[in-house]
Amino acid sequence: MTRWWMIRAGDNNELIPIWLEQGIASIGWPQLGNPKDYSDKADLKGKADAVFSDENPRSRSSWVNQVWRFSHQIHKDDRVITYSKEKREYLIGTVQESHFFDRNTGDTKYPNHIRISWERKRIPRDSLPQRAKNSLGSTLTVFRVDEWGDTFEQLLMDPHAGEFVETKDDEQESDSIKDLEGIAQGLIEDKIDRLDPWEMERLTAGLLVAMGYYVEEPAKGPDGGVDVLASKDAFGFQKPIIKTQVKHRKSKAESKEIQQLLGAHPMDSSCLFISTGGFTSNALTVAKQYSVRVIDMEQLVKMLVDWYENMPSDIKGLMPLRKMYIPEQ
Out of 101-110, 126-135, 170-179, 295-304, pick the least confident: 170-179
The confidence score (pLDDT) of residue 102 equals: 96
Residues 213 and 123 in one domain: no
Residues 163 and 84 in one domain: yes
Residues 141 and 20 in one domain: yes
Whether the Cβ atoms of residue 214 and residue 230 lie closer than 8 Å to each other: yes
Domain boundary among the residues 133, 167, 201 is at 167
Residues 81 and 198 in one domain: no
The confidence score (pLDDT) of residue 187 equals: 83
Residues 233 and 86 in one domain: no
Residues 163 and 229 in one domain: no
Domain boundary among the residues 167, 201, 229 is at 167
The confidence score (pLDDT) of residue 166 equals: 46
pTM over 0.85: no
Q: Beginning with the edge strand found earlier in the chain, give each strand of the sheet holding 270-275 in spatial order.
A: 214-215, 228-231, 242-247, 270-275, 293-295
CATH code where residue 84 lies = 3.10.590
**pLDDT band at 235; cut points 50, 70, 90:** confident
Each residue's pLDDT tens digit, 13-33: 889 999 999 999 999 999 999
Q: Does residue 206 form part of some domain?
A: yes
- Residue 231 DSSP symbol: E
**pLDDT band at 268; cut points 50, 70, 90:** confident
Whether the Cβ atoms of residue 70 and residue 99 lie closer than 8 Å to each other: yes
Residues 196 and 275 in one domain: yes
Q: Does residue 172 form part of some domain?
A: no
Our count of domains for the chain comes to: 2
Whether the Cβ atoms of residue 86 and residue 124 lie closer than 8 Å to each other: no
Max Cα–Cα distance, the chain, nearest Å: 76
Residues 199 and 309 in one domain: yes
Residues 83 and 135 in one domain: yes
Residue 35 in this model has a pLDDT that exceeds 90: yes
Q: Does residue 247 form part of some domain?
A: yes
Phi, psi of 281 (to 5 degrees): -65, -35
Residue 174 in this model has a pLDDT that exceeds 80: no
The confidence score (pLDDT) of residue 182 equals: 72
Q: Side chain identity at 21, as an amino acid letter?
A: E
CATH code where residue 305 lies = 3.40.1350.10
C-alpha to C-alpha distance for 226 and 200, rounded to whole angstroms: 14
Residue 173 in this model has a pLDDT that exceeds 60: no
Domain membership of residue 159 as a residue range: 4-167
Q: Are strands 270-275 and 293-295 parallel, antiparallel or unpaired?
A: parallel
Q: Does residue 64 form part of some domain?
A: yes
C-alpha to C-alpha distance for 35 and 72, rounded to whole angstroms: 9
Q: Does residue 248 form part of some domain?
A: yes
Residues 148 and 220 in one domain: no
**pLDDT band at 125; cut points 50, 70, 90:** confident
Out of 50-54, 114-118, 177-181, 244-248, pick the least confident: 177-181
The confidence score (pLDDT) of residue 221 equals: 59
Q: Does residue 177 form part of some domain?
A: no
Whether the Cβ atoms of residue 75 and residue 1 lie closer than 8 Å to each other: no
Residues 42 and 110 in one domain: yes
Residues 35 and 159 in one domain: yes
